[in-house]
Structures are given as C-alpha cells and as structure tokens.
Amino acid sequence: MKRLAVVCIVIAAAVSAWTIQASAMDGNEVLKKVDEVQSASKDSVADIVMILKGKDATTKERSMKVWRRHYRDKDDWSLLKFVSPADIKNLGFLSLADDKMYLYLSAFDRVRRIASHARKESFAGSDLSNDDLSTGKYSSHYDAKIVREEGDDYVLELKRKPSSERIYPRVTAWVDKKEFTVSKMDLYDDSNRLWKTSTIKNERIQGYWTPVEISMKDVTKDHTTIMKISKITYDTGLKDEIFTERYLKRDVKGD
C-alpha cells in the first residue's frame, strides 16, 4: 500500500508539473510550437483542389501539385504548379528561404521575382496573396501574446516584427493547447480593419498533423477560396533540384 501511495504521489506530481509548465508558456513559445508542428516532417508532396467561391454562389475549380521541404531551423521551401484548367496549367510559384519568391507565368514562359510591393497581389485570382504562399516561420515574423483561452484553444495576438515584410500587421490565431495546430485566423490590414478570415481543418496523416482543408475569405470582397488536399505523402526524399527556377518552368505532366 505504501508503494502504491508513493507511485500515486509521483504521478500526481508529474501531472501537476506538466500543467504548471503548460500554463506557464508564453505566446512566443506557443508560436514556435506551431512552427514545429507545421514543419515536423522532412518533406511532402500533395495534390490539392482549389475552389473559388463568389458572393453570387458561382464556383471555379482548379487542381495543383505542391512539393514542400520542411526545416526545423530555417524557412521551408515550397513549389506549387497548377495542373488544370488548361488556361493556367503549369503556372507556378516557388518560395525559398529569406522570403525569396518567384512566379512562373506559363503563358509567357517567364519567371519573375516577386518584389516587396507585390506581396499583396492576389495569387492567380484567388483570395490568397503572394505573401500567403510564403514559407517563412511565423515566429520569425511575429511576436505573440496569449490574450485569452477558449476551451481547448489558446487565442494568440500576433504583432508583426519591425523587420518583417509580411502584409498583415496583426493576426489573431486560435491554437490547440495540446497539439499546437491552428484552427482559425483573423488577418488585419494596415488600418487595423479585418481583411481576411481563415479556417483550417486538421487531420493526422502518416503521423503528422496536416491542414487538409483551408478556407480563406476576403471579407472586403465577400469572396472565398478553399484549398482541399486530395492526396499527400510525407518523407519522400525530395531533391534540391525541385526547388529551382528551372524546375519551376517544367511541365507538370508525368510528375
């Protein structure tokens, strides 16, 4: 009985210590955990369906392929290529470390570097901007504060760092306390007005938390873009040559 009592005391102490540690986390520590979860695998290859929804209920559907290399200690790399429809097939986007972003205009067979002033531009007519497709870590660009807790979520207030060129000066994010996945974001413009809202559905695939569906709504235009993952494979051993301007220009057929 004494041994059982000791075991119970040890377990209780461990649980108490974990609770204290979790509650003692500040916003920046939570944000770093979010980055770690999003870059937990070595790489991924995904097939994605993009759905554009207008306020008149009309929809347009596109398909794309996305290759992504994940890093714990620096920005991820990402390459996106449209597969359909025919008028935008092969249009592509490449994001590398230090906010280096490139757009491939398949109609002109030309790659252009995305300048700072073009970060707000819509990507291929969607509600995602060029900036939304960048792969820099949140903790590199924002300082975070826990403003409240709602059920199983921390509600973080993110303030853009002076050194960052991100287009949203303020972001509110709902982060799962246990898994550190993000389920919702409110994104504000330079006038501190709500610009976009994003909702994210996360599922665990191959042991990694995955944003299987992302909805981005531009509240100023009443227009929504939905990104759905139809297939994803992790830890495929992607080569460096994929994340180059040369590969960005390649036809996606057979990839």
Residue 18 binned pLDDT confidence (cut-offs 50, 70, 90)? very low
β-strand pairing of 170-176 with 110-113: unpaired
Q: What's the pLDDT score for residue 252?
A: 85
pTM of the model: 0.87
The span from the CA of 255 to the CA of 242, in Å, is: 11
Q: What's the pLDDT score for residue 23?
A: 53
Residue 239 binned pLDDT confidence (cut-offs 50, 70, 90)? very high
| The pLDDT of residue 215 is above 50 | yes
Residue 73 binned pLDDT confidence (cut-offs 50, 70, 90)? confident
Could you tell me which residues come within 8 angstroms of residue 149 by beta carbon, excluding any fewer than 6 positions away?
155, 177
Under DSSP, the state recorded for 244 is S
Q: Tokens 């369906």 correspond to what residue?
A: 49
- 132-164 per-residue burial string, b: 16 or more CB within 10 A, e: under 16: bbbbbbbbbbbebebeeeeeebbbbbbebeeeb
The mean of the pLDDT values for the chain is 91
**Residue 10: exposure state from Cβ atoms within 10 A (0-12, 13-18, ≥19):** exposed
Mean pLDDT of 37-54: 97
Give the E-state strand segments of the chain in sequence order: 43-53, 59-69, 77-84, 92-96, 100-105, 110-113, 142-150, 153-160, 170-176, 182-188, 194-205, 208-218, 223-234
Q: What's the pLDDT score for residue 99?
A: 86
Q: What's the pLDDT score for residue 56?
A: 82
Domains in the chain: ranges and CATH: 26-248 (2.50.20.10)
| The pLDDT of residue 209 is above 50 | yes
